[in-house]
Structure 1
Amino acid sequence: MTKIKYFILTGDPGVGKTTLTKKLCSIITGLGLKTSGFYTEEVRRAGVREGFDVVALDGLRGCLARDCSRNGPVKFKVGKYGVMVEEFEKVALPSLGQPEDTKGHLLVIDEIGTMELLSNSFRTRINEIFRPISECVVLATIPTRRSSPIVESIRNNSEAKVWTVTRENRNTMHEEILKEMKVTLNFS
């Protein structure tokens, strides 16, 4: 049996993947292990989603996307959102650097989705992280639907395990994932 190196969360938009990711990070850091990477966060104004931010685990924050109807023309667009690729790269790419010591270190990538993959530099870094010789242990989120070849190669990676997050399991799934991480990251 292959040891799991890539812990992958998938599920419908808004189901709680990012919340679960943050919970797992909190538990892992509470155990004295190191984390780096980023998560994406909805930006709401008066209860209405106006876009998404990218937030590095060290606290650095940048704009990932905003509603085009409020912000004018953009170079990259996904649905109604204009994607700020350069700003995303300024936050996400430094957070995905190779850790000096990969033992007991979890690299967090929330999310590897359509907006993020508009960045050529991000795609290159993802390919490096998920190549067979990489020593990174990764917690990542990917879209549920079939999408890019990169996402499908992650989903089908022999060293990956994919969990589908639902409203029914999102509050307890962390226990199962931590059990698996315990073996890979060697914590008690």
Structure 2
Amino acid sequence: MAQNKIFFILTGEPGVGKTTLAKKISSALSSKGVNVIGLYTEEVRNNRVREGFDVLTLEGARGRLARDQTLLDGPVKYKVGKYGVLVEEFEDVALPSLIKPAENGTCILIDEIGKMEFFSDRFKTKIKEIFSPNSNDVVLATIPIRKSDNLIESIRNNSRSKVWVVTRDNRNTIHDDIIMEMQKALKF
């Protein structure tokens, strides 16, 4: 069972393609019969101008994670740059998607474990649970490349984590190596 306790971590500069790669890997796993649960984030654009970010689950639920503060009805408690983070809306969509079914061979996709998401104490607690020493979860997650929160650094430096740095040069080819490693962990 010890070999199942592997965390597959993608990191890289903002905009390099971590989410696209995570979605590609998730889709490939699903097509091979692997049960994949979880979430990813997506930019929201209007006329090519970024307005914010949404959280989407693999089951199809969608909610707002952050919006340009000028587009919000009122002030928000948490901000990252010009974006107001909508913690409750994020939690309502994200947290139910991380409840793992009782079956083995499930992969949990978490894109992204980052600053905006960590304004949610409930999400941070769920991340601690998923990445705990007694966890049997196989996880595919994205994290920022820059050092940040202590929990994110503990994930990056965990002996069970396999970390890939996504670059513009490897983003279209690295998925095969990652899927091969995941195949060993998930036994498919």
Do both proteins adopt the same fold according to a TM-score greater than 0.5, normalized to the shorter chain?
Answer: yes
SS of aligned partner of 2:42: strand
The number of residues matched between the two structures is 186
Q: C-alpha separation between the residues in 2 aligned to 1:76 and 1:88?
A: 13
Query: Which 10-residue stretch deviates more, 14-23 or 68-77?
Result: 68-77
Alignment-derived partner of residue 87 in structure 2: 85
Alignment-derived partner of residue 169 in structure 1: 170
1:10 and 2:8 matched: no
SS of aligned partner of 2:37: strand
Alignment-derived partner of residue 130 in structure 1: 131
SS of aligned partner of 1:179: helix
Q: C-alpha separation between the residues in 1 aligned to 2:159 and 2:83?
A: 34
SS of aligned partner of 1:128: helix
Q: Is the 8 A contact 1:55 1:62 kept in 2?
A: yes
Per the TM alignment, residue 109 of structure 1 is displaced from its structure 2 partner at its CA by 0.2
Q: C-alpha separation between the residues in 2 aligned to 1:20 and 1:4?
A: 21
Equivalences for 1:24-43 in 2 at 5 Å? 24-43=25-44
Q: CA RMSD in A?
A: 1.3
Q: C-alpha separation between the residues in 2 aligned to 1:56 and 1:154?
A: 22
TM, length-normalised to structure 1: 0.96
Q: C-alpha separation between the residues in 2 aligned to 1:128 and 1:73?
A: 31
Residue identity matched to 2:98:
L
Q: C-alpha separation between the residues in 2 aligned to 1:149 and 1:99?
A: 28
Distance 1:2 1:135, change over 3 A: closer
Alignment-derived partner of residue 184 in structure 2: 183
Q: Deviations over 1:4-50 (max 9, x none)?
A: 61000000111000000110011000001101000000000000111
Q: C-alpha separation between the residues in 2 aligned to 1:63 and 1:2?
A: 36
Specify every segment of 5 or more residues in structure 1 that has no aligned partner in the other structure, as ranges. Answer: none
Alignment-derived partner of residue 96 in structure 2: 94
Q: C-alpha separation between the residues in 2 aligned to 1:125 and 1:74?
A: 23
Residue identity matched to 1:75:
K
Residue identity matched to 2:94:
A
Q: Percent identity?
A: 60
Residue identity matched to 2:28:
I
